[in-house]
Amino acid sequence: MKLLFVADPLESFKIYKDTTFSMLREAAKRGHQLWTCEVQDLVWRSGGRVVARTARAIALTGDATDWFTVLATSELVLAETDGIVMRKDPPFDSEFFYATHLLSQAEREGARVFNQPAALREHPEKLALMEFPQFCATTLVTRSEAAIRAFHAEQGDIILKPLDGMGGMGIFRVGLDGLNLGAIIETLNKGGTETIMVQRFLPEIAQGDKRVLVIGGEVVPFCLARIPQGGEVRGNLAVGGKGVAQAISARDREIAEAVGPILAARGLLLVGLDVIGDSLTEINVTSPTCFQEITDQTGFDVAKLFVDALERALASPR
C-alpha cells in the first residue's frame, strides 16, 4: 500500500523514542510504500484535488543517524494514496485546524485519513474529557479569573494549563498559599481573552501520569507511567519525566474500555488517555506517543498492533 504520513520534519525526529518512526518502521517491514509530507505542503485549488506539494517517498536505512533516504520528491494527490496517517504534533492552533479541513476535503475526494480529520476537530485534547465526567478529575474550563480564584479557594491545590499545549508546556501548580495565582492566570488566560483548564491537583502524580493507549478500540495491556523527577510537578517525558512501563490497572482498563470504543467508532484509530491515579485528565488524539518506551520495556509490540489496525481499517468498506 502507498501510505502518506503527515508529520513534523523528519530531520527533527529522535528515532530512539519517536512513535511516528516506529509506525514507519513497522509499515516498511510489511513492504508498504512510505511517503511523508508536512502540513504546510497541503494545497487545494478549485477545479483540482488536495495535493501534498512536495511529498517525499522515503526508505529506511537502518542507520541511527541518517535513518532515511529520499527516493523521490513530487507532488502527490492525497486521494491517490491508499491511506494517510495524520501525525502532526500539537499545538492545536488555527493552522492545525485548517489542515484538518484540507484533509476532510481530501476525504471527499476519496482519501482515507487516520485519525479522521473531523474527529480531530471534535476532540481537542484537553476538552474531550468533558464527555466523560464520571472518569475525570475535578475540572474547570473557563477564561474567568474570578471563577478560577473560586475554584482554588474550594480545591486548595490546583493545576492550571493552556488548552493548546503539549509535553507539559505551560502547566502550573498553585498550592494552598495561592502564591503567584494572579500572575499565572494573567499569563495563561491572556488578560481574560483565552480559555484555560484548571484541575484539582492529584498527589498520585508521584506514581506517574499514565499514558494508556487504545488502538482500533482495543486497549493496549501496558501503559507508560511518566514520573516527575526532582522538584518537577510534571511527568511529561519532554520535561525530564521518567517513563516506566507497567501493566494497566483495573481502573485504567475500566476507563479505556468505556471511552476507547466510543472514540474508535468516530474515526479515532489511535487514542492516548492520560490517567493520574484513578482519574482521567486528558484524551490525546492528535499524535499520541509512548509506543517505543512500552515496547522496549515490556516486549509488547505496540507499532505492530497499530499497523494491524490501520490495515484492517483500510481494508474495510468506506
pLDDT digits (tens, 9 = 90+) for 269-290: 999 999 999 999 999 999 999 9
The active-site residue out of 18, 107, 274, 293 is 274
Q: How confident is the model at residue 229 (pLDDT cuts 50, 70, 90)?
A: confident
Question: What is the predicted pLDDT for the residue at 132?
Answer: 98
Could you tell me if 160 and 198 are in contact, meaning their C-beta atoms sit under 8 angstroms apart? Answer: yes
Is 3.40.50.20 the CATH classification of the domain at 2-120? yes
Q: How confident is the model at residue 240 (pLDDT cuts 50, 70, 90)?
A: confident
49 is catalytic: no
284 is catalytic: yes
Tens digits of residue pLDDT in 181-197: 999 999 999 999 999 99
274 is catalytic: yes
Question: What is the predicted pLDDT for the residue at 213?
Answer: 98
The active-site residue out of 210, 226, 252, 293 is 226
Whole-structure pTM value: 0.94
Domain 139-201: which CATH number of 3.90.870.10, 3.30.1490.20, 1.10.1670.10, 3.30.390.50: 3.30.1490.20
Report domain extents, the chain: 2-120, 139-201, 204-315
Tens digits of residue pLDDT in 90-131: 888 889 999 999 999 999 999 999 999 999 999 988 999 999
Tens digits of residue pLDDT in 248-270: 999 999 999 999 999 999 999 99
Question: What is the predicted pLDDT for the residue at 309?
Answer: 98
The active-site residue out of 107, 161, 164, 293 is 161
Is 3.40.50.920 the CATH classification of the domain at 204-315? no
17 is catalytic: no
Residues with Cβ within 8 Å of residue 33, at least 6 apart in sequence = 1, 2, 3, 57
The active-site residue out of 25, 164, 234, 293 is 234
The active-site residue out of 211, 236, 252, 293 is 211
